[in-house]
A and B are shown apart, each in its own frame.
Chain A
Amino acid sequence: MNDIFEGLTQAARLVVTLDADLAEITLRSLQVTVTATLIASAIGLPLGAWIAVNRFRLRRIVIVVLNALMGLPPVVVGLVVYVILSRSGPLGVLGLLFTPTAMIIAQVIIITPIIASISHQAIRELWADYHDLLISLHATRRQRIATLLWDGRRALMTASLAGFGRAIGEVGAIMIVGGNIDHATRVLTTAIALETGKGDFGLALALGFVLIALAIAVNLALHVLSGTERGSRW
């Protein structure tokens, strides 16, 4: 109880004084996760829509695999990415291990299935509504998917936000592939793990509260910007 109170006051102090280290790792958390979310959305949203719209032989299997991948343990993803990006691994020449790029790659792998799966659900419902109309108007495949993505954008934003939420709070994978290097790959979650390790629960909790506030702020900002809650608009 004491720790939590101390954490809250310390969080407030860090934020109010615009602590430079805090600003840096918070910005890096955002940088890594926003980038990962954008990439994963660029892959996952059209993929989800494509699966919803097209009938193909392996469709059921793809859906099952996608749903299974949603539960992918981040540590395992981290480990695999580590082994691949290590200098002694297949993509070692790129020298990406222990860089923010490696963290982005790991996060993209973790959240793409989530985004694809949620968008698949949403688009499937919309496709059921639109099917006859789009066929009747002779929309091409691309046009159909583009229309569904656009008209389903609210639901898709939810899918992306779910991915963002998972990524911003993730620690296992990015700790492994990022290495938690101060001023290079340290982000909020890995800093929390570090401070917990040092027994500095107050600071760890403070960082935790900042992380939660950040996640809420991003969600709020997107909802306000896109006007989700405004009356009967879609």
Chain B
Amino acid sequence: MSAEINAAGRYDCREAFAKTIEALAEKDERIVAVVNDSVGSSKLVGFQKRFPNRLINVGIAEQAMVGVGAGLANGGKVPFVSGASCFLTARALEQIKADVAYTNTNVKLCGMSSGVAYGELGPTHHSIEDFAWLRLLPNLTITAPSDRWETEQAVKAAAATEGPFFLRISRMAVPDLVRPSDAMFQIGKAETLRQGRDATIIANGVMVSRAIEAADQLAASGMNVRVVNMASIAPLDIEAIRSAAETGAIVTAEEHSVRGGLGGAVAEVVATSCPCRLRILGFPGFLPTGSPEFLLERYGLTASGIADAVRQTIEARKAA
């Protein structure tokens, strides 16, 4: 199994999200979109034109938006509730807990422009805590796609699967990954993109292509590093983490806080069932102002940053 990076272009995953929803809505009348003055920023202008009665804009009111989504699900609709991830998940957290996860409603929460896509707008607009606070909620499936193909697959899976979902949709442009023709997207299953024995990089979202590049850099210096795309954070592929632990060193990389996200989920498994060297790459806390790329670089969330972390983690294991 191996995936290559298609260097031809970089794409905003919101476009794939919107295109897929439109195509699904064409066939399935139950599909509706719910937004908070976020038609444009969710790329739903086309959806609104085609299905004006099926786009519910509640205005700037995230708590109502999620509750309305739960009510629409109660009425037999399949609501894609879509807004900037920071406001959708933080402002409406109790609605997500009570009306969606606990009530176990068929609501598809779509967090747009997650991570540090709004870099210069500051910590209020960064969504680097969403994995942490949503990962605690039972019943909620959480997925962070890595490219356009995976975004499309995740949207389709969410539509086809009864129950609460959170889709974390990136705005920061990412390349397409060229996967084997039999590649399949499965909820709760990690995807091994590079085989390897010396260490494992576990990443998701915008960090996946960077993880592949890091593995390529390390391969050039003779290191054989596995790359695992952990798009699904909940349910979590525990087997893939146990297997990664057998390589002796794990580095996780996510566009999220170092606390409570992908790294936290992996750490819970590693610490309780398969101890090994683990390094968590992510953001340390409230971030300064800067472009998305500036922030990723500053905190080592680049191919070379990941490669350095892998080298250090392997060294530390050898020294121990």
Do the two shown chains form a genuine complex with each other? no
